[in-house]
Amino acid sequence: MNWIQRLRFLVKKNDTDVELDEELRFHLDRQIELNIANGLPPAEARYAALREFGIVDQIKEECRSSRGLDWLNGIAQDVRYALRNFRRNQGFALTVLAVTAIGIGSSAAVFSVVDRILFRNLAYSEPNRLISMGITIPWMDYDFLTWADYGELKRTPTQLQGITSWAGVVDCDLTGDRPLRLACARVESSFLPVLGVQPVLGRNFAPEEDRPNVPGVALITHAMWQSRFAGQPSVIGRRLTIDGAERQIIGVLPPGFELPTLEKADLVIPQALPPLPAAGGRPMQVYGRLKPGATTQQFRDSVMPLADRIFSFAPPQARKQLKFQVKSLQEMQSGDMYLAAWTLFGAVLAMLLIACANVANLLLARSLARQRELAVRAALGASRSRLIRQTLTESMLLSLAGGIAGILLAYGLLRVFMYIAPVGLPHLSGAQLDLRVLAFSLAASLLCGFVFGLAPALHTPSASTISGARATPRSSMITRHALVSAQLSFSLILLTCAGLLLQSLWNRQRLALGMRTENVVTAELALTIRYSQPSARLHFFETLEQRLARLPGVETVALSDSLPPGGVPRTQPLYALEGSVRTEAQPNSGIVVWRHITPGYFRALGIPILKGRAFTEEDRGPKQMAVVISQSLAAKLFPGEDALGKQMRRFPKGPLYTVVGIAASVRNGGLTDANHPEYYLVRRHSDDDALAASTVILRGQARPELLESWIRSEVASLDPVIPANIQTFDQHMGELAARPRFQALLLALFAAIGLILSASGLYGLISYLAAQREREIGVRLALGATPAQILKMILAHAFRWTAAGLAIGIAGAAAAAFALKGLLFHIEPADPVAFTSAALSLGLIALMASLVPSRRASRVDPMTTLRQD
C-alpha cells in the first residue's frame, strides 16, 4: 500500500472502520449460526461465540495498527485528546504555559544579546584567522605600533598572510549644501582586503592613493549611500568636501560592515601616511590575517624578537610597563563584555532550569492526579507505550505552545533590553531574534517538553493501579521533592549573584567623588572645521564663557577639556614628571592625569583647595606658568615638604611651572578603584591653549532644565551648527554606571522571577502533600494531636527539603560568585553578608510558601475528613 492509499485510509478512516465492524460482525454471526447448527440454544450459542471472539476493540485496534497508519492516526488522536484535557484544566494548562513562556522567552531574549558577543563570528571572512597586535601601555586605550615599528614588522617574515593598519576614527566635517558632522575611519589601503571586506559598489583604494598630497578618495557606508544618495549607483565618482578638501567617492561598503573596534564610521578614507621615518612615528592599530593553519602562538613566538628590539629603545623606566600583545580580533572586540555576557548567559540558564523543574513538577502532580484515569485506559487495552506517548504528546504540546508564547515574549523583552541598555554595549543595537535564536528557543522548549514529559510518563501506572487504593508511589514523591530542592538551589545562586552585583553597583555609586555635583550642568562641545584657526577657537570659547557668566542664576562657569571621574582625561606616565625629587617616582608608578581648565573649575565642581589658591584671571596671561596639583601628586613629587611655591616640569627638560595651589584629590579613574595623581593647567588667553573640543561646566541655582536651555541658546547664537551634548552632572554619572546597572538589573530580574517560580513550586508541593495526607491528619487530630503538632510535622518535612536545596545552592553560589569576580566592586565573592542574606531571604520565603498550606492542613475538621469516601 503506498502513501496515497495510506492517507486515503486516514481520511476515510470512518469508512474503513465501518467495513471492519461489518467484517467482524459477519464472522460473529456465522459462528453463532454454526453453534446453533451444532445444537446449542440460541442464547448460549451467542455467548460461546462472543467468548471465543475476545475483545472486539482490541482486534480492531490491531487491525488498524497492522495497516500501518496507526502512528499518524494515533498522534492526531493524542493531540485531540490533549486539547480536550487542557480545556478541562485551564488553570493547569495556563500555569504551565506561563512558566514555559517566561523561561523560554527570557532565555531567547538573553541569548539574542549574548549570542553576538560570545558565539557569533565577526563580520569578516574567516574571522578566526584575524588577530590584533601591538604594544599595551597603561595610558593608551588600544594596542598600537609606531609607524616605524609597523614598517619593520611588515618586512619581517611571519606566519601572516596579510597585515594592515589604521589610525582610528576621527570626526570629520562634510561641508557644502548640507553640512554634517561625520566619523571618518582612516585606514591603510590593505585594510579592507585583509579583513576580507569587498565594496558592494565601486572599488577599494590603491596604495598610490594612500599617500599625502594626492587627490582624495573615500568609501561610504551602505547606510550613508542609502540615506544621502538614495542608493543610486551614480554615487561613484561624486565629490564630497570633507574638512575643506575634496574627495571622490570610489566605493560603497557592504551593509553589515563594521570596524573591528565597533566604532561608528560613515566614511573610510586613506590614512595617507608620510614616508617611513627612521624611528617612532605616529601610533597605529595593527591587524593581521594568519596563513591557513598557522596559530596565534606560532605568530607570537615569531614576533617576540622584534618586540624585544622595540622595547630596547624604550626608556628603561618605561620598559616594565610595556607589553607586546597578540590576541584574536574577537577577543579584542568583546573586551570586558565577555565576562558580563557569560554571567548573563549563566543566569538565564539557571532560570530556564528553574522553569523546567517547575513545569516538570506541575506535570508530575497532574499525572499522579490522573493515575486512576490512566489505569482505566490501560485496562481498556491501551498499551504502556501508547500511554507514555500520550503523556509525552501533552507535555510537548504544552511546551511548544509555551515556546511560541515565549518567542513573542522574547521579542518584547529584547525591545526592553535595548531600551534600558547603555550605549556602547557591543552589538546590542544589532541584536534581533533571528533563525538561530528561534532554533535555540524551539530546541529549548522541546527539550523542556521531553524532559518534563518523560518524568510523568515514567510513572505511567500499570493496570494494577486501577483499584486506586495505593496512593502515590514513593519514587515519584522523591522526584518531586528533588525538583523543588533544585529550584530552590538555583534560586539561591541567582539571588546571591544578584545581591553581589547590586551591592557592587551601590558601592560604585556611593564612591566618594571628592566633589559636589548637585546643581551642575555640563555641555560637551566640539567645534567644526570652520574653526581651523586657533584664534577662532579661542574666540568662540572665551565669548561663550563670558556670555554664560552674565546669565542670572549662574554662579560659576568653567571650561575643561574633560570631566571627572570618567571621561577621557589626558594622561601621561608619572615617571616623566619632575618635581623636587624626580627619582622618587618609580618606573611602574603608573599614570598622572591632567586637565586644561579655566579658573572657575574648582568652584564649579566644589573641589576644595587645600593649600595656596585656585587659578585666577591673572594666571591666564599668555606667559604665565602656573599649575595646581592634587594632594596625591604633591606627596609623590615633593615628598615630606611643602609643595606650594615649588617648581615642576611636565616632562624632562620641559618648561618649569610654579605650583600655586594644592587641590583635594578627586576620583578620576572612572567608577573603579584606580585613582591617579592629577595636575591642572589653566587655559590661558593664548592660541597655544585653544582646543577644538571642550566641556562647559555650569553651577547655578536655576533649575537644570533652564540652565540647559540657556546653554543651548547661547551656543546656538554663536554658531547654530555646533552639536552640544548637554546633561546634568548626575546624568553624566549615571552614564558611567550604566553597564554595571544593566547587568545588576537583569540579574536581579532573573533572580526575582526564579524566586517566584521556586516559591510557587514549594507552595504547590506542600499543598499537594497536605491534601494527600488530609485523612491521616484527620485521624491524628481525632486521636488527640494538636494543630500545632500537625503544623510542626508538615513544616519539618518542608524544612528538610528546603535545607537540602539551600545547602546545594550555597555551594553553587560560591562557585558562581568566584566566576563573576571581575564584575564585583569593593565586595569579596565570598561576602558573608551577601550569602547569609540571600539564604535567609530564600529560607524566609520558603517558610512562608510552606506555612500557608501547612496551616490550612492543620485546621482540617477531623469529622469531615473521616466521613469522606
Partner 1 sequence: MSKPTDLVQGTLDLLILKTLTLGPQHGWSIAQLIKERSEEVLLVQQGSLYPALHKLETQGFIESEWGDSENNRRAKFYALTRKGKQYLKEEEANWERLSRAIGLIVKMA
* CB nearer partner 1, residue 63 or residue 718: 63
Smallest gap from residue 4 Cβ to partner 1 (A): 14
Task: Judge contact between 415 and 502, C-beta under 8 A.
Answer: no
Binding of partner 1 by 63 (CB under 8 A): yes
Shortest reach from residue 40's CB to partner 1, in Å: 17
- Give the shortest CB-66-to-partner 1 separation in angstroms: 4
Q: Does 24 bind partner 1 (CB under 8 A)?
A: yes
Q: Does 15 bind partner 1 (CB under 8 A)?
A: no
Consecutive H or E run containing 54: none
CA 248 to chain centre: 40
Residue 22 makes contact with partner 1 by CB under 8 A: yes
By CB under 8 A, tell whether 263 contacts partner 1. no
Q: The C-alpha cell of 673 is what? A: 578603584
If binding is defined by CB under 8 A, does position 57 make contact with partner 1? no
Instruction: State which of positions 32-51 bind partner 1 (CB under 8 A).
Output: 33-34
For the bound state, the minimum distance from the C-beta of residue 15 to partner 1, rounded and expressed in Å, comes to 12
Binding span for partner 1 by CB under 8 A among 55-63, 434-442, 478-486, 653-661: 55-63
Burial class (CB in 10 A: 0-12, 13-18, 19+), 237: exposed
Q: Which pairing describes strands 323-328 and 130-136: parallel, antiparallel, or unpaired?
A: antiparallel
Q: Is 71 in the site for partner 1 (CB under 8 A)?
A: no
Strand boundaries in 198-344, DSSP class E: 201-202, 216-220, 239-242, 245-252, 267-270, 283-290, 323-328
Smallest distance, partner 1 to C-beta of residue 23, A? 5
Q: Is 66 in the site for partner 1 (CB under 8 A)?
A: yes
Residue 53 as a binder of partner 1 (CB under 8 A): the answer is: yes
552 within 8 A of 700, measured Cβ to Cβ:
no
Asked if residue 10 binds partner 1 (CB under 8 A), the reply is no
Q: Where would I find the beta strands (DSSP E) of 304-378? A: 323-328
Residue 32 CB, shortest distance to partner 1, in Å, is: 11
Q: What is the largest CA-CA distance in the chain?
A: 138
What is the β-pairing status of strands 520-526 and 626-630? unpaired
User: How many helices (H) and strands (E) are present in the chain, helices listed first?
Assistant: 27, 22
Contact call for residue 62 and partner 1 (CB under 8 A):
yes
Q: Which stretch binds partner 1 (CB under 8 A): 17-25, 363-371, 390-398, 788-796?
A: 17-25
Instruction: Note the residue count of the chain.
Output: 869
3-state secondary structure 636-660: HHCCCCCCCCCEEECCCCCCEEEEE
Residue 119 engages partner 1 in binding (rule: CB under 8 A)? no
Q: How far is the CB of 372 from partner 1 (least distance, A)?
A: 23
Part of the chain binding partner 1 (CB under 8 A), chosen from 31-39, 389-397, 499-507, 764-772: 31-39
State which residue, 1 or 811, has the beta carbon closest to partner 1.
Answer: 1
Query: What is the distance between the alpha carbons of residues 815 and 640, in angstroms, rounded to a whole number?
Result: 46
Q: What's the closest the beta carbon of residue 407 comes to partner 1, in angstroms?
A: 41
Q: Which residues between 553 and 582 bind partner 1 (CB under 8 A)?
A: none
Quick one: 30 or 703, whose CB is closer to partner 1? 30
The answer to whether 29 contacts partner 1 (rule: CB under 8 A) is yes
State which of residues 31, 198, 507, 572 lies at the interface with partner 1 (CB under 8 A).
Answer: 31
- Axis-axis angle for helices 474-509, 832-858 (nearest 10): 140
Given 15, 18, 30, 71, the residue binding partner 1 (CB under 8 A)? 30
Among 15, 21, 27, 546, binds partner 1 (CB under 8 A): 27
105 Ramachandran zone, left/alpha/beta (phi>0; psi -120 to 50): alpha
3-state helix, strand, coil in the chain (%, to 5): 55, 15, 30
Check residue 822 for interaction with partner 1 (CB under 8 A): no
Of 205, 185, 201, which is closest to residue 248 (Cα–Cα)?
A: 205
Least CB distance to partner 1 at residue 373 (A)? 22
Q: Which residue number, 71 or 119, has a Cβ lying nearer to partner 1?
A: 71
Measured distance CA(713)–CA(707) in Å, rounded: 10
At its nearest, how many Å lie between partner 1 and the CB of residue 380? Answer: 13
Residue type at position 358: N
Let me know: does 592 contact 679? Beta carbons within 8 Å. Answer: yes
Instruction: Report, in Å, the least distance between residue 461 CB and partner 1.
Output: 19
Q: Rule CB under 8 A: say whether 464 interacts with partner 1.
A: no
Contact (Cβ atoms closer than 8 angstroms) between residue 375 and residue 465: yes
# binding residues, partner 1 (CB under 8 A) = 25
CA nearest neighbour of 143 among 113, 122, 165: 165
Q: What residue ranges bind partner 1 (CB under 8 A)?
A: 1, 19-20, 22-24, 26-27, 29-31, 33-34, 52-55, 58-59, 62-63, 65-68
